[in-house]
Amino acid sequence: MESKAEGMGRLPGTVAIVTGGGAGIGRAIALVFAREGAKVAVADIDLTAAEATAATIAAGGGSARAVQVDVTDAASVEGMVSATVRSFGTLNALVNNAGVGTEGDVVELSETEWHRTLDVNLTAVFLGCKYAIPAMEKAGGGSIVNIASIAAVVGGSVSCVYPASKAGVVALSKSTALAISCAVASLPMGYFWIRAALNSGSLRL
C-alpha cells in the first residue's frame, strides 16, 4: 500500500472503523483511509483477513488494528466500538460496509435467507450507528458512511432481498441524519461505479 506519513493527507488525527475491512471494497476503503492519515480499526468476521489488511496498512507506515466482529450481534458491535476507543482514544468515523448478496425472487427465497440478509445488510447498519454515535458525540461529532447500492433504487430480478435491504439502508441513513448531530450518508455503490474507480486508480483492492 502506498501510504502517507501520519499527520499528512486529508484525514490526519481521524480514527475510523471500517466493517468488512478484510476484503474487497472494505479493504480498499481501509487502505485509502490509512493513506490519508487516519488510524483504522479493520473490522471483519474473518479475523485473519482483518489482520492482513491491518498488516498492509502498518507496512505502509499507517496505524491500524484488526477487530473481529459479528455485525449482526449487538454485543459484538458494541465491543468493536469499545476496542477501537481503547486502542486509539476516540472514534470519529464509521463505514458500515459489511454485507452479503443473496439471490432469489420472492417465491424462491427462503425465510431464513431473507432474515439473514436483512440482518447483515440492514440490522448491522442500525447496530453500527447505535453504538458508534455515542462515542462520536463524546469526541465532538463524527461522520458515518453506510454503503448502499444502486439496487435500492432500481431493484433487481435476481434478488428480492438485496435491493430491499439496501433501500432500508438509504432510509435509515436519512432518518438517522435528521435525528443526530453526526453526519450520516448512504453511498449507492454499483458495479460500473466500482469498475470505473478501479480502472482510474481511485479505488484499489
- Please confirm, yes or no, whether 131 is among the known catalytic residues: no
What is the tally of helices (H) and strands (E) in the chain?
8, 6
Question: Measured between alpha carbons, how far is residue 130 from residues 74, 77, 165 in Å?
Answer: 9, 9, 18
Residue holding cell 435500492?
Answer: 152
179 DSSP assignment: H
How far apart CA 82 and CA 37 sit, in angstroms, is 21
Half-sphere exposure of residue 182: CA atoms within 13 angstroms, side-chain side:
25
- Cα of 200 vs its chain's centroid, Å: 22
Three cell numbers at 197?
474507480
* Run of H or E including 84: helix 74-88
Q: How many residues does the chain have?
A: 205
Catalytic residue among 162, 167, 182, 186: 162
The residues annotated with a catalytic role in the active site are 162
